[in-house]
Structure 1
Amino acid sequence: MNAHAARIGLKRGWTELRQTATTGQDLRGYLLPTVILLFSMFMQRDSKVHGTAFSLGTMMLPGVLGLVVLWGGFLAVAQQLAVEREDGTLLRAKALPNGMPAYLIGKIVVVGGMTLISMLIILVPGLLLFPGLDFATPQSWTTLLWVAVLGMVASMPLGAIAGSFISNPRNLGLIVLPMMAVMIVSGIFFPMAVLPEWLQWIAQVFPMYWLGLGMRSALLPDSMAALEVGGSWHHLETVAVLGVWAVVGLVVAPVVLRRMARRESGSRVAARREKALQRTT
């Protein structure tokens, strides 16, 4: 990748980000789930975490921020890749000099930007609505930042790998349903320590648990670490697990994407368009 490809990718990503932020349909796709999650937490603001006087809504907010990072990095990338394979955008990028590197940089900009906006929609009102958040120290801001960045680096390549295997955007349920199952057991909406130990071990394999844990360590008082598995925030383990997923994704994703791009052709795009037209008529 050269500097010219990077400039094109950044420009492309910024243009797409502005278009997404000003297009009603795109905004609804990104922001409606975020608003629903915020409303769900608000409805739980008077409930208490079992065995404590701490608000369940406040306990949920950091985990939901981790979910938003993973949802944006993984699912949004997979969805956009599947859609742009079908409509020929990927084929056009492949045909241009430095087209694929620029395309990928553009995706990083637009997905990262919309994920940041989604996080702010939860975090800004959350600081006002949910008592007990510990967000007044530089350490909290620093932890939130490195967890979010590492989470995006871990999740976006995985989204690209998943999207490369989905030729039809309507098949996204094949990855959404397993992701929902992992979300349920990852401690996003309640302390994972209440789950059977075998489910805890399964959840700890995936990035979602560690993103939620990292966000809770940034935003909740240290006393709440007692509710976590092992009674600790496990910062080193968070870095290690998310780092392993990031390395695996960054190694595998370019190989998978190159193979996918080589298989793209005008006839394949035309065939997918024909099938899409048949479904709408």
Structure 2
Amino acid sequence: MRIRVGWQRGLIELRQSFTNPAELLSHFLWPILMLVALFFLRNRDFGSTGFQLGALALPSILGMNAAMGMVSISQLLTADRADGTLLRAKAIPNGLVGYVVGKVVSVGGGLIADLAILLIPALFLVDGISLGSAHWLTLGWVLLLGLVATLPIGAVLGSVFTTARSQGLIQLPMLGLIAISGIFYPITALPSWLEWIGQVTPIYWMGLGMRSALLPSPAVEVDGSWRHLETAAVLGVWAVAGLLLAPVVLRRMARRESGSKVAERREQALRRVA
């Protein structure tokens, strides 16, 4: 029952995001900017590998966008905590579970739509991309497992950071991780110590999984292999850790919420505006 209510709530929020002009713009702005970047990279070769930078960058950008879902859900959770939405969900029996399910559905659905907005025109823009039936299957399991690995971590971060202003503490490290995760340049071109750090993050493995679905050869990858087993294992570990940790952190955060704390945060926000 609670999961069904959360599912329905998530679908309503997802539909609203595509009918609200501001949110609709956000769905298209980032894919359009990435398509512009791919346009300028499409004919630039990466050394003597035979790959073009556009073909290398496209699947990595897809993986990066999917991983950024943890930032999105963290921001939403922080905003709902500040305005009392989370407190109202807590007051309903099993309301917190339905709330979390709804956010996962709305954020995950929005991410999949954003990836489609980017991928479909990019297939006509960038050469060297292949998508047969097996490739679509790989793309699907990497994306779904990657979302399960990252969205719970985003919920944990949203529980830890209590104000919207503190979200910069999440975004700046995230941008740093993206920079060393082989998104815009093969990770094998980085110093070895950065290469090892990048491979700890789910961002790298989502990018690698996306590249394995879209590129014909792993010539520029670590060990010259797509490492599907390692991809599933690392993303699986992140998924299990997030699914075990998120409910505990969310319950502890919900127990500390009260009407007086919501009012206090609202007064602080009004003072900053004034």
Gaps of 5+ in 1: none
Q: Offset at 1:86?
A: 0.5
SS at match of 2:47: coil
Answering whether residue 226 of structure 2 is matched by residue 233 of structure 1, we say: yes
Measured against aligned partners, the alpha-carbon deviations of 1:82-104 in whole angstroms (never above 9, x if no partner) come to 00000110000000112011101
- Structure 1's 79 and 31: CA in aligned 2 closer, same or farther, altered over 3 A? farther
Letter in 2 for 1:21: F
Alignment partner of 1:268 out of 245, 261, 265: 261
Provide the C-alpha distance between the structure 1 equivalents of 2:105 and 2:181, rounded to a whole number of angstroms.
Answer: 28
| TM-score between the two structures when normalised by the length of structure 1 | 0.95
Cα RMSD (Å): 1.0
Q: Offset at 1:195?
A: 0.7
Q: Offset at 1:71?
A: 0.7
| 2:67–2:203 Cα contact (<8 Å) kept | yes
- Structure 1 outlier segments of 4+, above 6 Å: none
Provide the C-alpha distance between the structure 2 equivalents of 1:122 and 1:116, rounded to a whole number of angstroms.
Answer: 10
Alignment partner of 1:259 out of 244, 252, 263: 252
Letter in 2 for 1:247: V
Provide the C-alpha distance between the structure 1 equivalents of 2:17 and 2:226, rounded to a whole number of angstroms.
Answer: 36
Alignment partner of 2:19 out of 17, 22, 40: 22
> Which residue does 2:40 correspond to in 1?
43
Alignment partner of 1:59 out of 37, 56, 61: 56
Measured against aligned partners, the alpha-carbon deviations of 1:33-66 in whole angstroms (never above 9, x if no partner) come to 2322222122211211122332211110000000
| 1:154–1:243 Cα contact (<8 Å) kept | yes
Gaps of 5+ in 2: none
| 1:34–1:68 Cα contact (<8 Å) kept | no
Measured against aligned partners, the alpha-carbon deviations of 1:5-43 in whole angstroms (never above 9, x if no partner) come to 122111111111111111122233343223222221222
Alignment partner of 2:120 out of 117, 120, 124: 124
SS at match of 1:83: helix
> Which residue does 1:156 correspond to in 2?
151
SS at match of 1:172: helix
| 2:49–2:220 Cα contact (<8 Å) kept | no
Q: Offset at 1:194?
A: 0.8
SS at match of 1:50: coil
Q: How does 1:176-191 map to 2 (within 5 A)?
A: 176-191=171-186
> Which residue does 1:173 correspond to in 2?
168
Provide the C-alpha distance between the structure 1 equivalents of 2:79 and 2:104, rounded to a whole number of angstroms.
Answer: 16
> Which residue does 1:140 correspond to in 2?
135
Provide the C-alpha distance between the structure 2 equivalents of 1:30 and 1:76, rounded to a whole number of angstroms.
Answer: 12
SS at match of 1:253: helix
> Which residue does 1:194 correspond to in 2?
189
| 1:144–1:218 Cα contact (<8 Å) kept | yes
Alignment partner of 1:70 out of 48, 67, 71: 67
Letter in 1 for 2:105: V
Letter in 2 for 1:188: I
